[in-house]
Chain A
Amino acid sequence: MRLRWGRDLGTEADRTTFRTLHTASLATPALRAGLTAGSAERAVRHLRSLLGAPAIALTDAGELLAWDGRFSHHAPQTVALARPVVADGATTVRPRRDIACQDQRCSLRQVVVTPLTVEERVVGTLQVFTPVASAGLVRAADEVARWVSGQLELAELDASRTRLMEAEVRALRAQISPHFVYNSLTAIASFVRTDPERARELLLEFADFTRYSFRRHGEFTTLAEELGSIEQYLVLEKARFGDRLDVTLRIAPEVLPVVVPFLSLQPLVENAIRHGLEGKTGPGRVSIAAADNDFEAVITVEDDGLGEDPDRVRRALAGDAGTDSVGLGNVDARLRSAFGDDYGLVVETAPGAGTKVTVRVPKYAPGVHE
């Protein structure tokens, strides 16, 4: 397709549409942060040029958030104007006497007040001040308010998604599985008489492991710390399984300082041990490796167990809670949210062929640090 200025850009009407869409897109990022003084301040200018009005205001349910345009002596009146609209949620046009002023030069005679709604609830108003409130302007104000409401709803969605993810991390933290606690304590108990020294060491490992897992602060940690906790976990699992569990670790020391999401590897190791030993009589092998690949670290967790149906894994990664893979979907989501969609989990598996999970972590990602 050829693009040449002034010729192939369509008719005047098309161009007006493009301009309108572009102006709307400028206001989008601010509104997607939710309705606050800061976001309203950034969005209000674009909304005014969208409506072509001399002055407009954005309020929330009880306060003026931002004013753009001339004659800002009307700004204090906006709160009173907003109140009835917030109460009954209908667009109203208010006449001259409601926005009285002494300024001779002021040309504002009428104001259109439209509600901004999120999930059926009025959260604020858009107020358009104008000399004459034509039917067209009222319609335009209504449409713009509806569009803004849509953006605010998306913002709400973003926020609740984030809250959900945080809740999942908290849940994962509390999710040292009851089986693991029970099994570890039983294994330790079996050593209390025969080998008290070992029992003591195992208890200390258990204490350290729980302290790390219940840690409150920070969403990120270093690979060194995460591996340290995995090491304690493995000591406890080995006490339980003895020679049935054969673990190999191959860690390049260069990648130990890499920053990873807190508790992002431990669930993978737990899965590997479970799958590596489940339904098998002989010993199971689990190998954990971390390699240096220039600007990223590549971490793999592999077991030689029964493997799994790829479809089940796909469902687990998509967040289906019905599968028994502990936190696989959660780890995947957190990796993607921290490092971008290129850095999700890669799971290679098939029935009877073992499972290999690969995690890639960039050595540096903006905004991600301990």
Chain B
Amino acid sequence: MTPLAGIVAVVAVSAVTIGIGAFGLRISRTTGDFYVASRTVGPVANASAISGEYLSAASFLGVAGLVLTRGVDSLWYPVGWTAGYLVLLVFVAAPLRRSGAYTLPDFAQLRVESRHARSVASVLVVLIGVIYLVPQFQGAGLTLRSLTGAPPWVGEVTVALVVLLIVASGGMRSITLVQAFQYWLKLAALLVPVCFLLVAWRRDQVPSAGRLDVADWVEPLGGAHGLYLTYSLILATFLGTMGLPHVVVRFYTNRDGRSARRTTVAVLGLLSCFYLLPPVYGVLGRVYAFDLVRSGRGDSVVLELPSRVLGGSAGDLLTAVLGAGAFAAFLSTSSGLVVSIGGVVSQDLLSRRLDGVTAFRVASSAGALATLGLTLASSGLAVAHAVELAFTVAASTFCPLLLLGIWWRRLTAAGAVAGLVVGGGLSTTAVLLTMFGAGLSGGPGTVVAQPALVTVPLAFLVMVTVSLATSPPPQVSRTMVRLHTPEHLALDRGSYHPERRGEEPARRRH
């Protein structure tokens, strides 16, 4: 194929994203048509923005690749990534919004009233962010290779540079409308080509014997330790979503706890629609691009399909559309993550040495470059699996913190820190072993490849045990009242009393 269309698409997407980031959406209005109340971000716009930032390389490319190679078991990935919002909806969304926390470290500090807990949470945000970023960069490498034939590192370096540019130019500051548009762009970029592909499939009547009706592809719980792997995956994805730093900050935009819930319901709907599409690509790949399974390039199936099914300029055009969508996916997720990492690091770790803006730029650049290094050094897991590892770390750390913090008043600072350290330490070790291909086999290998079923209960256990042995923070009753009472009830939520400042939780120092 001619790489021109693909290159044009990628360059256009990058340029548009940088442009929007740099210049922002400048909407000026005079008093005549200015009504503050009507300008709050509504649940649907907010949900689109959350989905736009959430749907990453793993969803756009990875799911289809895994369906192609591993079969029906990998359907748990899209199911889990959607159902994570169900858990978020039921247990976390409204209390988290009512708490007034912007980031996860904010929540840790306000619930257990400890600066140590805040610092540990900050380190974990950086860890999860970097682990999540690696597959995004990797996906960009794959995309550029499929579009132009360039080696993977070209794409990885390119996306790192573009993200750096976006962040350093001060842009992409979570503008809701831009992020919301990203969701519809990604949806369209998958939906339009798949229509053409399905029509072509109907027309071609390609024989699929020996490809779609293979027992270990269509039957669940296949392979060694299938049951453990599946349940571990379910646990990681169901519980990991609530601990993703770039998702949580978006809930702050909601007006109150109620609209946070509505937003989450809308996200469930939007994601359910989107995730219908990648498995279709996986199945079509089974028919048209079976050789990718053997060559271990399953992740590029989405991009390869148009040229194989349709060929010619129609194929090139659709590949360009898919490439643009994929690149949009990397850029929005990556810059969201880099901004989160930069914000947390500059606020909590660098603010004493550098001023705000410099600290933010230094921190986000360091984050992006560290990730690039890690990406180039890592052994190239399947993109979806690599993303799921970030979910594992989130599920083993922030999930217990949020669930226990919101629903159990006995949680203490010591308990939270111990749980975060144990859950984070174990899961990160396992993730790094997997990423760099430690080559363990048998039982231990399985646990290391999919550690959630061990680390999540362990983190809960440590958090509960240590909490029971220590005493809860002094203002816990106040905090609980704030988390759980709807905003329209007029009651004392513990408004700020400067005269009792000595008893307030440790104040942020700069």
Interface residues of A (CB under 8 A from B): 29, 32-33, 158-159, 162-163, 165-166, 217-220, 224, 227-228, 231, 234-235, 238, 246-254, 256-257, 259, 291-295, 337-338, 340-342, 362-370
Contact = CB atoms under 8 A, between A and B. Distances in A.
B34 A366 contact: no
A250 B459 CA distance: 46
Contacts of A340: 507-510
A291 B254 CA distance: 16
B498 A337 contact: yes
A253 B499 contact: no
A231 B41 contact: no
Nearest to B49: A254
A367 to B, nearest CB: 4
Interface of B: 26-31, 34-37, 39-41, 100-103, 106, 109-110, 173-176, 252-255, 339, 342-343, 347, 360, 482, 487, 493-496, 498-499, 501-510
Given A248-B28, A257-B254, A224 B502 contact: no
Contact of B176 (A217, A253, A363): A253
A231 B36 CA distance: 8
B31 A364 contact: no
A92 B36 CA distance: 68
A101 to B, nearest CB: 36
B508 A224 contact: no
Contacts of A158: 499
A234 B339 CA distance: 36
Contacts of A342: 510
B253 A366 contact: no
B367 to A, nearest CB: 14
A139 B466 CA distance: 47
- Interface residue SS majority, chain A: mixed
Given A219-B496, A295-B343, A364-B102, A254 B31 contact: no
B36 to A, nearest CB: 5
Contacts of B41: 253-254, 256
20 contacts: A224-B37, A231-B31, A231-B34, A231-B36, A234-B31, A248-B28, A249-B29, A254-B41, A254-B176, A256-B40, A291-B173, A337-B498, A342-B510, A362-B508, A363-B252, A364-B106, A367-B501, A367-B507, A370-B100, A370-B495
Contacts of B36: 224, 227-228, 231, 251, 256
A294 B504 contact: no
A284 to B, nearest CB: 14
A217 B34 CA distance: 27
Contacts of A159: 499
Given A224-B40, A227-B36, A294-B339, A369 B496 contact: yes
A218 B491 CA distance: 11
Contact of B103 (A165, A234, A364, A368): A364
Contacts of A166: 498
A257 B510 contact: no
Contacts of A367: 496, 501, 504-505, 507
Give the interface centre of A364, A365, A370 by most chain B CB atoms within 10 Å: A364
Contacts of B109: 366
A342 to B, nearest CB: 5
B37 A228 contact: yes
Complex A-B, nearest 3 residue pairs according to Cβ-Cβ distance, in ascending order? A363-B102, A364-B102, A364-B106
